[in-house]
Structure 1
Amino acid sequence: MKFRFFEIFDYVLLISVSLLVFIGIMFVYSSGVNSSAVSVSNEYIKQIIFACTGFLLMIFFAVFDYRKLERLTPIAFILLFLLLIYTKFFGRYVNGARSWIGIGNFGVQPSEFGKIIYIMFLARYLNRSAETAPLKRFFISALITAGPVLLILAQPDLGTASVYIPIFIGMIFTAGLNTSYILFIILTGTLTVIFTVLPVWQTSILQKPIIILSVFTNPRLRLIVSATLIIITMIGALGLLFYRNKYYYFITRFSGSTTLALGASILGGKVLKDYQIKRLIVFLNPYTDPLGSGWNIIQSKIAIGSGGITGQGFLKGTQSHYRFLPQQSTDFIFSILSEEAGFVGSLFVFILFFIILMRIIFIMYTTKNTFGYYIAGGILVMFFFHFVVNVGMVMGIMPITGIPFLFLSYGGSSLWTAMWATGLLMSIRFRRLDF
Structure 2
Amino acid sequence: MKFRFFEIFDYVLLICVFLLVFIGILFVYSSGVNSEQISVSKEYIKQIIFAGSGLVIMVFFAIFDYRKLQRFAPPAFAVLIFVLIYTIIFGRYVNGARSWLGIGNFGIQPSEFGKIIYIVFFAWYLERSENTLPLKRFLISIAILGLPALLILLQPDMGTASVYFPICIAMLFAAGIPAAYLLFIILTGILTIVFTILPVWQESILQKNIAFLSIFSDNRLRLIVIATFAMIGLIGALGFLFYRNKYYYFITWFSGSFTLAFGASIVGNKVLKDYQIKRLIVFLDPYTDPLGSGWNIIQSKIAIGSGGITGQGFLKGTQSHYRFLPQQSTDFIFSILSEEIGFIGSLFVFVLFLIILLRIIFIIHNTKNTFGYYIGVGILIMFFFHFVVNVGMVMGIMPITGIPLLFLSYGGSSLWTSMWAIGLLMSIHYRRLDF
TM-score by length of 2: 0.99
Does 1:336 pair with 2:336? yes
- Measure, in 1, the Cα distance between the counterparts of 2:73 and 2:250: 38
Give the counterpart letter for 1:254 in structure 2: F
Look up the match of 1:230.
230
Give the counterpart letter for 1:53 in structure 2: S
Asked if the contact 2:282/2:399 (under 8 Å) is kept, the reply is yes
Deviations 1:267-317 (A, max 9, x none): 000000000000000000000000000000000000000001111111110
Look up the match of 1:244.
244
Look up the match of 2:39.
39
- Measure, in 2, the Cα distance between the counterparts of 1:219 and 1:169: 30
Deviations 1:342-390 (A, max 9, x none): 1101100000000000000000010000000000000000000000000
- Measure, in 2, the Cα distance between the counterparts of 1:300 and 1:249: 47
Look up the match of 2:144.
144
Look up the match of 2:215.
215
Give aligned-pair identity as a percent.
Answer: 78
Asked if the contact 2:219/2:266 (under 8 Å) is kept, the reply is no
Deviations 1:114-134 (A, max 9, x none): 000000000000011111111
Look up the match of 2:392.
392
- Measure, in 2, the Cα distance between the counterparts of 1:308 and 1:55: 34
Count, aligned residues:
435
Deviates more, 1:179-188 or 1:247-256: 247-256
Look up the match of 2:310.
310
Asked if the contact 2:32/2:42 (under 8 Å) is kept, the reply is yes
Look up the match of 1:402.
402
For residues 239-388 of structure 1, the aligned pairs below 5 Å read 239-388=239-388
Look up the match of 1:58.
58
Look up the match of 1:118.
118
Look up the match of 1:97.
97
Give the counterpart letter for 1:14 in structure 2: L
Pairwise CA distance, 1:247 = 1.8
Give the counterpart letter for 2:115 in structure 1: K
Deviations 1:383-420 (A, max 9, x none): 00000000000000000000000000000000000000
Look up the match of 1:78.
78
Pairwise CA distance, 1:246 = 2.1
Give 3-state SS (helix, strand or coil) of 1:281's partner. helix
- Measure, in 1, the Cα distance between the counterparts of 2:272 and 2:318: 34
Give 3-state SS (helix, strand or coil) of 1:330's partner. coil
Give the counterpart letter for 1:321 in structure 2: H
Look up the match of 1:12.
12
- Measure, in 1, the Cα distance between the counterparts of 2:40 and 2:289: 29
Look up the match of 2:186.
186
Does 1:155 pair with 2:162? no
Give 3-state SS (helix, strand or coil) of 1:284's partner. coil
Does 1:199 pair with 2:189? no
- Measure, in 2, the Cα distance between the counterparts of 1:202 and 1:298: 21
TM-score by length of 1: 0.99
Give 3-state SS (helix, strand or coil) of 1:34's partner. coil
Root-mean-square deviation (Å): 0.6
Structure 1 residue runs of 5 or longer lacking an equivalent are none
- Measure, in 2, the Cα distance between the counterparts of 1:61 and 1:222: 48
Deviates more, 1:241-250 or 1:83-92: 241-250
Give 3-state SS (helix, strand or coil) of 1:107's partner. strand
Pairwise CA distance, 1:228 = 1.1
Look up the match of 2:88.
88
Give the counterpart letter for 2:215 in structure 1: V
